[in-house]
Amino acid sequence: MNFLTAKSLPRRTVLRGIGASLALPFLEAMVPSARAAVKPVNRFLTFYVPNGMAMEYWSPKGEGAAFELSPILEPLAPYRNQMLVLSGLHASWNYIHAGASGSFLTGTPRGGRNEVEIFADVSIDQLLARHFSSETQVASLELSMDAPANAGACTGNLSCVYTHTLSWRSPTQALPVEYNPRAVFERLFGDTGKTDWAAREARMRQNKSILDSVTGKLANLRRELGPKDQSKVAEYADAIRDVERRIQKAEEQRDVSLPAMEAPQGVPPVFEDHLTLMLDLQLLAFQADLTRIISFMIGKEQSARPYPQIGVPEAHHPLSHHDNVPELIAHMSKINRYHVELFSKYLAKLRATSDGDGSLLDHMTILYGSGISNSQRHAGDNLPIMLVGGGAGTLKGGRHIVYKEKPSMANLLVTLMDKMGMPVEKVGGSDGKLPLDTLSGI
């Protein structure tokens, strides 16, 4: 492991302590020799936004490389060269809010017909999770900013599972989301790879963090690394400790400031604090290759969250049914743009995090968008969709592609499976692949 002796550190090195498991980010010491080429890992993230879009503020002007960023997309100007905006895609299953999120990753052409009939298709994040499961500690993460609801009817008399998750393990098994940062943290850094509440409680009684149980091993490891790797490990450990400290602070605030609210520990009362924690946990998971597959909903379909901090006091879902009133559409666009601004801050962290010969952003395929376009009529045509990241060399950004023939969103899912190195013939109701690389005039 010594940096000077050219001995390599195994890529899957894990430091274990009492109830803790610390995987390491990619280090120079993990390269067998200075001349060895390391194939970058391509990670897949879905960043879902609910309740449709103010499309007149979303759609870019122009096609190909000459497109102009729209008002909603302006915050992504620093990442223009790694953006691929796709217009003209049609939802696979367009049944109000249930079909929006229910088909987003499954491509299913239909779902259940009542509250107890639950049916879709296997989502691509779960197909990829199976593919990478032997290479990562956690096959996939299913995350949200909202508490899960896996029973009852939420939209059109259909089960709430459709509006509260994107991920399906089988056509009849939807996966619940996790919105509690503490539970995510424990799953990533607990010794079992699952939420080990007994180990967590033991550490809390001793006022010890995850890192405390591996401090000695971490110090020994750093002495055997080169200066650059030492710095990288130190920054990574500091980031983990900072996230854990913020979760602990949120728990204290929850207990002291809001004793009447029934919510699990670890969920900050302020939306932005909660979101930052959830995104930082994703960053750590990708950085240490704990998982390569994450689905994330910044809001569930029919989310009624207001955004008074940006001058939008109306609840999101009612506002999305704006009756085509220009002032209300403008308010809707503020929410859409704010989500992009928050996403842009996350991209900045991904770009600033080194990964082999590039950054995490270079080695990621991010699917951003919604399963509804015009929210007033729950439209499933011309979905607001974009791909962001370098895809480990598989994505060519800096373009706006307009599809004239209204291809299915399911066709994009087939293409994404190709880009992730796991080609499949069909996803849901797909009838082919969506061309991303060779279109006339692009």
Give CATH superfamily name and number for 39-179+267-419: Alkaline Phosphatase, subunit A (3.40.720.10)
Look at residue 9 in the predicted model and tell me its pLDDT. 78
Look at residue 434 in the predicted model and tell me its pLDDT. 97
Look at residue 314 in the predicted model and tell me its pLDDT. 95
Residue 77 has pLDDT above 80, yes or no: yes
Check residues 117 and 347 and name the one with the higher pLDDT.
347
Model confidence pLDDT, tens digit, residues 28-69: 888 765 445 678 899 999 999 999 999 999 999 999 999 999
Among 104-108, 190-194, 280-284, the range scoring the smallest mean pLDDT is 190-194
Asked whether the beta carbons of 275 and 252 are under 8 A apart, the reply is no
Look at residue 4 in the predicted model and tell me its pLDDT. 39
What average pLDDT is seen over the chain?
88
Among 29-33, 255-259, 351-355, the range scoring the smallest mean pLDDT is 255-259
Look at residue 311 in the predicted model and tell me its pLDDT. 96
Beta bridge partners, 365, equal 44
Residue 131 — pLDDT band, cuts 50, 70, 90? very high
C-alpha span between 29 and 232 (Å, rounded): 11
Residue 270 has pLDDT above 70, yes or no: yes
Q: For the packed helices 326-352 and 271-287, what is the interaxial angle rounded to 10 degrees?
A: 40
Please choose, from the candidates 199, 223, 227, the residue with its C-alpha nearest in 3D space to the C-alpha of residue 213: 199
Look at residue 265 in the predicted model and tell me its pLDDT. 57
Cα 139–chain centre separation? 14
DSSP string across 91-151? -SS-SHHHHHHHTTTT--S---SSSS-------HHHHHHHHHTTTSSSS-EEEESS----S
Residue 191 has pLDDT above 90, yes or no: no
Please choose, from the candidates 276, 346, 335, 345, the residue with its C-alpha nearest in 3D space to the C-alpha of residue 310: 335
Model confidence pLDDT, tens digit, residues 272-305: 999 999 999 999 999 999 999 999 999 999 999 9
Look at residue 257 in the predicted model and tell me its pLDDT. 43
Q: Phi, psi at residue 17, to the nearest 5°?
A: -130, -160
Look at residue 33 in the predicted model and tell me its pLDDT. 56
Cα 309–chain centre separation? 23
Residue 264 — pLDDT band, cuts 50, 70, 90? very low
Q: Which residue spans of the chain are classified as CATH 3.40.720.10?
A: 39-179+267-419
Residue 416 — pLDDT band, cuts 50, 70, 90? very high
Look at residue 2 in the predicted model and tell me its pLDDT. 41
Check residues 273 and 195 and name the one with the higher pLDDT.
273
Look at residue 196 in the predicted model and tell me its pLDDT. 52
49: which DSSP letter? -
Q: Which residues contact 268 (CB under 8 A, 6 or more apart)?
A: 181, 246, 250, 253, 254, 274, 277
Query: What are the distances in angstroms from CA 93 to CA 1, 89, 112, 357?
Result: 53, 12, 11, 40
Q: What's the average model confidence in pLDDT over 136-152?
A: 89
Residue 108 has pLDDT above 90, yes or no: yes
Look at residue 1 in the predicted model and tell me its pLDDT. 40
Round the CA-based radius of gyration of the chain to a whole number and report it: 22
Q: In percent, how much of the chain has pLDDT > 70?
A: 88
Helix (H, G, I), strand (E, B) or coil at 368: strand
Look at residue 326 in the predicted model and tell me its pLDDT. 96
Look at residue 143 in the predicted model and tell me its pLDDT. 98
Look at residue 347 in the predicted model and tell me its pLDDT. 98
Q: Indicate whether this model's pTM tops 0.85.
A: yes
Q: What's the average model confidence in pLDDT over 385-409?
A: 96
